[in-house]
Structure 1
Amino acid sequence: METADDGTSTAQSLSTWLDRLTFADLTEGEATARIIDTIAEWADWQGWRVYRRAPSVVPLPPPLRGNSVLDVACARPGGAAPIAIEVDRTDRQRTVDKLLAEAAAGRLAVWVRWGPGPFPPPPLPVHLVTRHAARRSGKWHTVSERPAPDHSTAAPVVAEAEELPWEQ
């Protein structure tokens, strides 16, 4: 939970929560939805109100009317700044602009990037949280940054076949 810092501890908490997320054989849309669901679970666990597709402070580009939406927004008690969260696989300037506008409006702006990386850092005060994933046969699966255990990477043991005596 957040202290009086600049939001780094909140972003780190979300990063730790997303590290536990695993999925396999999902389309891009399904993977994004799973990440958004996991973010909502994290915020709910914090005791915050969670809003999906919440209105942004950024207006839609013409000829559209109204405001853009955030993937997730969180209202926090006790006067803590609300959180504006966007989830993307690709590096989108429009997302950066939206999050900078949210930060200028007093919200903690968090960009959750997922995919194979690299993930260039956005300009401050936008916080970056990443979840590595890879695509195989057109479907996405999570990737752990932890190395495989030794027993998984050791060379196979080769044994000589030996005929056993036959007892009757």
Structure 2
Amino acid sequence: MVDAFLKLVFENMNSLVQKEFGLLCGVNKEMEKLCSTLSTIRAVLEDAEEKQLNDGAIKNWLHKLSDASHVLDDILDDCAMESSRLEYERQDSVWKLKVRFSFLFRLNPMSTLRRRKIAKRMKEVGDRLDEIANERSKFHLRELVGYQRQIQGKEGRQTGSIVTQPQVYGREED
């Protein structure tokens, strides 16, 4: 009976550890997903900025996007700080290894907790950006890639300061 209970506890604990480890290791996958979503949003930004003057809903969409980008910027700052902290701890642990065993130092629960919080925040902002990206279809925003933007900029009438005299053919005697 106790053996079955301990087995169940161990399986639950193992499942929890795998879930948390997956969350920590899934940071790279989440970063790739965020980059993909941001590139989709970036492709429609120019069209949205042109239409926001006449449409309040698009203006609201751009405001949501701005808020989400600030949250993402905060997360990236936290990632950079955590990376610097881990590098410092790694260098410090090399020094401590000469003095005593430091394998317990590397398994710092506070560092793991900070990485877990960052991973959870990245997941949340990724979901939020996905929602924002999906809203673009409601506003009929077009994806403008670099080449299309260049063409659109050159389509207007070209003017200059040099006056050219038009040549008329066949009416020289009039």
Q: TM (normalized to structure 1)?
A: 0.28
State which structure, 1 or 2, has the greater radius of gyration over its C-alpha atoms: 2
The one of the two structures with greater contact order (alpha-carbon pairs below 8 A, sep at least 6) is: 2
* Greater strand content: 1
* Greater helix content: 2
